[in-house]
Structure formats: C-alpha cells, structure tokens
C-alpha cells in the first residue's frame, strides 16, 4: 500500500527556547563538559527528581556504570536485573566485572517481578536493578523491602521515566541511586546525555570524581587564588555531559510537565480509538503511578503475527518497531536464566508512534491503519 502520510515513531519537541539557550552557551565560551551550565542543570534536575544530588553524564549507560562502581559491584558479585530492557542495563553490570542475573517481569506492565527477583538472591547477590519499563515505575516499596531484608542495594534504571511518579514520589527518588537517559527518543532530550541522581553525598561525590578521569571537574577550580594542579589517585572515565547539551536540557526540563501531559493525552486518544480492536491489548497503568509514555507498546495475542503488523504499518507510513529486548536470550550474556514472561513480551509487543507532537489527525490515521492491518488475513496466524 502506498502511504498517504508519515507519522514518526518518535520525535523531540524543541524550538526557539533551546536555540536561545545554545546561543548563550556559545557566547559564554564554555562549551566543554561539566561546566557552569551543567552545574545549573544538575541543581534543577535534583529539585525536579526530589533528590539531594544530580550528576550530568554522557548517557544512561555511563550513569548506570558509575552507580554500580560507587555501590561496590565487582568481580565475583551478582546483580539481579529486570530482564525486559535495552541491554545497556545488563551491559553496565558486565562492565564492572560482576555477573547479571535476569529476573522475569510482570506480564501487565513489564517491570521486574519481585518474587522472581527474590528467587535469584544468593550469597553472591549484592543488589537489584529495577527498570521503569518505557517510563512506568516498578514496584519500589516491595523491592525496597526485599533489599532491606537481604542487605542489598537498589538501583533505578529511570532511562525512560522523566516525569513519572510512584505513589506521589518522582522517578529518580525511588531507590538508592537512579540513572536517566536524554537520548533523542526519550521524553526530554539533548540528542544524547544522561544523569545520575541520589541522596548519598559520599556516593555522588565519588561518582563525580570517577566521571571526570578521577579528578574534580575544572569548574571547581575556577577563581582559585593559586595555581590548582589536580592529582590523579584513581583511573576514572570521561563520562561528562557538555555544556551545550546541558543548555538544551535546562529548557527541556521546564517543558517536562507539558510534554508528559501531551503524551498522556495521546495515550488516551489511542485507548479511545483502539480499545475494542481485536487481536491486541493496549498498555495499562498500574495503581498509584504516573506513566510518562516514553513509548506506547501494544501486545498482540496468539492470532496475530507481530512482525507482519509492524512491517505493514511501516508500508503505510506509520512508524513502528518491536518493544524492547528479552535480555536473557541475548548471546552476549551466556546466561541460563529463564524468563518466559519477558520472552513472550519480546515476541509480541510493538510500538506505535508516541511523542508530544502528535495531533488528533495523527491518532486517527495510525488507528485506522492499525485496524485495517489487523483485518488483513496476511497478519493472522
């Protein structure tokens, strides 16, 4: 079928405010990482997430790695990871020399199943990484209770959950530390970038040192009355966000409530248009949560060929893709963990266009095309 229009799977919301913020940074002469604009953004992000400290980073993967480093994960340790997630979560565990153990997920919202996580705890386990699946927070009260009872730490992979809440608390404040992503497909974005947030000053100070090669950032030496020559006593990384990105993120953070509201309205629009469509299940929001809808994932039943639906939608100009990954089946991990719920979601979920720029005509077109595709015997088993 010849597409009559194009509806993007994802799309950032940027405009003159971001351009003006970039002009100010260009005029300042400080474009590199961990500068004054990053410092300003970090303060604003900490306030927005209800945490005491924030650290702007190069991406969410680097934030997760820093978190695991300061939490003490290393060779011989095991870290329990929510299985249904982009593999950066499991990769970050491997970067420390620890072993990821993959826990199955809830069938309704795709977040870590607390009982499945508890079943994996052993004498080598040091912590749990919960993933806010496409932005919807996991069961943090139950996870925190499990971690307290077994002497474990809890890390929130909040890559997709800027603007989400759990029982009135903002994403980022729900675990010992939390890692965000500002990739172009996320709810707020600078194209790339990330952040680590938390309340423990000792951990966050160490993370800041590690993220700048093992020394304090140069901005901390500005205005010194004597020549400040830093000394390297550890081998850190270059995990810094540039001040160019931070300028965009300061604006994006002010947009966050409106962006979440727009995406929530789009999700409601899909529910109204597709609620009775046969062969699919629409996403649900669990109790006491605000879902920021970084993605809108639909689940096919046994009568529908998910892959055929995605390809047919693309032919009609509707951006679509599979949901995310069942980590335990990825060859890189070589794990014996079994996660049947995650495996099923990996095989049956697909994403419809979701961003804050969608209008009613977009939702009409996407919904009409999906209904038409589902009625085609070619996508039925």
209 is catalytic: no
CA distance 194 to 192: 7
DSSP 251-317: HHHHHHHHHHHHHHHHHHHHHHHHTT-TTEE-----TTEE---SSEEEEE-TTB-HHHHHHHHHHTT
Tell me the helices (H) and strands (E) count for the chain, helix number first. 11, 14
Cα–Cα–Cα angle for 154, 155, 161, rounded to 5 degrees: 130
- Distance CA(330)–CA(210), nearest Å, equals 29
What's the distance, CA 127 to chain centroid? 19
CA dihedral 302, 308, 313, 319 (to 10 degrees): 90
Distance CA 195, CA 54 (A): 7
Strand partners for 242: 33
In the beta sheet, which residues pair with residue 326? 84
- Point out the catalytic residue in the list 186, 208, 211, 316: 186
- Report the distance separating Cα 77 and Cα 99, nearest Å: 6
Q: What angle do CA 260, 369, 321 make, to 5 degrees?
A: 60
Q: 3-class DSSP state for residue 373?
A: helix
Q: Collapsing DSSP states into helix, strand and coil, what is residue 24?
A: helix
99 vs 83: CA distance, rounded Å: 13
Element (H, E) at 156: strand 153-157
Which positions are catalytic?
A: 186
């Amino acid at each position: 079928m010849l597409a009559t229009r194009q509806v993007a799977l994802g799309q950032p919301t940027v405009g003159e405010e971001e351009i003006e913020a970039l002009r100010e940074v260009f005029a300042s002469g400080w474009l590199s990482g961990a500068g004054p604009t990053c410092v300003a953004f970090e303060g604003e992000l900490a306030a927005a997430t209800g945490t005491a400290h924030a650290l702007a980073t190069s991406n969410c993967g680097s934030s997760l790695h820093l978190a695991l480093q300061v939490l003490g994960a290393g060779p011989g340790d095991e870290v329990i990871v929510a299985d249904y997630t982009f593999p950066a979560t499991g990769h970050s565990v491997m970067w420390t020399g620890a072993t990821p153990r993959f826990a199955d997920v809830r069938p309704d919202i795709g977040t870590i199943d607390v009982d499945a996580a508890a079943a994996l705890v052993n004498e080598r386990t040091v912590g749990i990484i919960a993933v806010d699946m496409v932005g919807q927070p996991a069961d943090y009260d139950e996870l925190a209770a499990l971690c307290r009872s077994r002497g474990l730490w809890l890390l929130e992979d909040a890559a997709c959950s800027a603007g989400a809440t759990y029982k009135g608390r903002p994403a980022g404040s729900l675990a010992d530390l939390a890692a965000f992503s500002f990739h172009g497909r996320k709810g707020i974005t600078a194209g790339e970038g990330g952040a680590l947030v938390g309340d423990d000053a000792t951990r966050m100070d160490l993370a800041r040192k590690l993220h700048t090669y093992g020394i304090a950032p140069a901005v901390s030496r500005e205005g010194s009355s004597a020549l400040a020559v830093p000394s390297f006593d550890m081998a850190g990384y270059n995990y810094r966000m540039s001040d160019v990105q931070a300028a965009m993120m300061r604006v994006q953070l002010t947009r966050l409530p409106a962006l979440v509201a727009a995406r929530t309205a789009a999700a409601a629009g899909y529910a109204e248009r597709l609620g009775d469509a046969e062969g699919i299940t629409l996403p649900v929001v669990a109790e006491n949560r605000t879902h920021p809808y970084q993605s809108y994932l639909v689940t096919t039943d046994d009568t529908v060929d998910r892959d055929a639906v995605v390809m047919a939608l693309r032919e009609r100009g509707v951006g679509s893709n599979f949901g995310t990954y069942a980590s335990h089946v990825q060859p890189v991990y070589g794990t014996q963990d079994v996660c049947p719920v995650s495996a099923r979601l990996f095989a049956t979920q697909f994403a419809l266009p979701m961003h804050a720029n969608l209008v009613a005509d977009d939702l009409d077109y996407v919904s009409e095309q999906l209904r038409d595709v589902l009625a085609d015997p070619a996508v039925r088993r």
